[in-house]
């Protein structure tokens, strides 16, 4: 007998999304709410990044890490919110298995990178507060880039 014959198998091709809103009228309200929250978040993070890049006084290790955190937050939110907004607008209640898997992969990858970056920021602040005399040597631009992974 060949492997797999005589067994009951079902292949999963898509997920049915249940949940946020049931009525058509509320879908547009939820869409506007999430779109506004997305735009405020992206706009805020991009303005932080622009301020850091434009002002030479902010070219310090703390703001280097903060700028990278802003970029990471923009990318992380862009992985999930625009596909959700598209599904809300098109009234599509399904997502393919591979689209869900890739979205989940990238979200978890970016969330893990976020944790590593926050750890690097904590180490930077530890050195600045507890080891101020050796801070500039221990937190050089090369060390910053290695910690961020750029």
Query: pLDDT tens across 63-89, in order?
Result: 999 999 999 999 999 999 999 999 888
CB neighbour burial string for 26-65, b if at least 16 within 10 angstroms, e if fewer? ebeeebeebeeebeebbeebeebbeebeeeeeeeebebbb
Burial status of residue 81 (CB atoms within 10 A of its CB: 0-12, 13-18, 19 or more): middle
Kindly indicate the confidence band of residue 1, based on its pLDDT and cuts at 50, 70 and 90.
very low
Helix (H, G, I), strand (E, B) or coil at 15: strand
Rounded Cα distance, 75 and 43, in Å = 12
Rounded Cα distance, 58 and 110, in Å = 25
Torsion of CA 132, 57, 149, 49, to 10 degrees: 140
Kindly indicate the confidence band of residue 8, based on its pLDDT and cuts at 50, 70 and 90.
confident
Give the architecture (CATH level 2) of 23-148.
Answer: Up-down Bundle (1.20)
Q: Enter the tokens of residue 106.
A: 């990238």
Kindly indicate the confidence band of residue 150, based on its pLDDT and cuts at 50, 70 and 90.
low
Residues contacting 12, CB < 8 A, separation 6+: 97
């Amino acid at each position: 007998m060949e492997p797999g014959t005589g067994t009951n198998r079902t292949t999963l091709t898509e997920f049915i999304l249940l949940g946020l809103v049931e009525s058509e009228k509320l879908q547009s309200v939820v869409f506007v709410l999430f779109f506004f929250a997305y735009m405020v978040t992206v706009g805020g993070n991009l303005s932080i990044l622009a301020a850091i890049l434009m002002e030479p006084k902010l070219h310090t290790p703390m703001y280097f890490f903060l700028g990278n955190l802003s970029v990471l937050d923009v990318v992380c939110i862009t992985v999930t919110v625009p596909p959700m907004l598209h599904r809300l607008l098109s009234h599509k209640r399904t997502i393919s298995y591979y689209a869900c898997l890739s979205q989940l992969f990238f979200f978890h990858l970016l969330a893990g990178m976020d944790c590593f970056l926050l750890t690097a920021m904590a180490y930077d602040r530890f050195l600045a507060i507890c080891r101020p005399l050796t801070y500039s040597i221990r937190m050089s631009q090369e060390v910053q880039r290695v910690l961020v992974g750029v």
